[in-house]
């Protein structure tokens, strides 16, 4: 089982790396065979190369992340609410999201899932 403090630190590192526009730092949090499903039901990015490309493209929008509540940890999972702010199509917009991370024994993220939909997108 993964250490809860390390899981919480990984979430903070994820948000920090995204805000700094550093896809390599995000990828470093993932296991080599990690998966990203963002949003849930969308295409799954599998492995470091796909994950890097996905985050690099999202970071190009200038989006910023902000935690909107405490990080919840149970077993090998962490869940965290946050907002994404970006300037898109000429206006400021916000998306309210809950992400979940599942960790392996080494403390690497093996699965990320993002929960949001049209009702969580403001200003679009």
Name the catalytic one among 14, 49, 55, 104.
Answer: 14
Q: Which distant-in-sequence residues (6+ apart) come within 8 Å of 28 by Cβ? A: none
Tokens at 77, concatenated:
């999972």
Q: What are the counts of helices (DSSP H) followed by strands (DSSP E) for the chain?
A: 3, 8
Please give the Cα distance from 82 to 41 (Å, whole number).
19
Query: Cβ distance 48 to 34 under 8 Å?
Result: yes
Q: Is 38 annotated in the active site? A: yes
Q: Is 14 annotated in the active site? A: yes
Name the catalytic one among 3, 16, 33, 38.
Answer: 38
Please give the Cα distance from 56 to 54 (Å, whole number).
6
- In the block, residue with structure tokens 């403001």: 122
Active site positions, annotated: 14, 38
């Amino acid at each position: 089982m993964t250490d809860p403090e390390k899981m919480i630190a990984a979430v903070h590192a994820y948000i920090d790396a995204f805000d700094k526009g550093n896809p390599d730092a995000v990828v470093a949090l993932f296991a080599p065979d990690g998966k990203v499903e963002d949003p849930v039901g969308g295409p799954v990015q599998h492995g470091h190369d796909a994950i890097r490309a996905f985050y690099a493209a999202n970071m190009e929008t200038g989006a910023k992340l902000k935690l909107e509540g405490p990080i919840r940890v149970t077993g090998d999972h962490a869940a965290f609410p946050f907002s994404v702010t970006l300037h898109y199509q000429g206006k400021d917009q916000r998306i309210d999201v809950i992400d979940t991370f599942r960790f392996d024994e080494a403390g690497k993220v093996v699965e990320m899932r993002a929960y949001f939909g049209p009702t969580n997108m403001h200003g679009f």
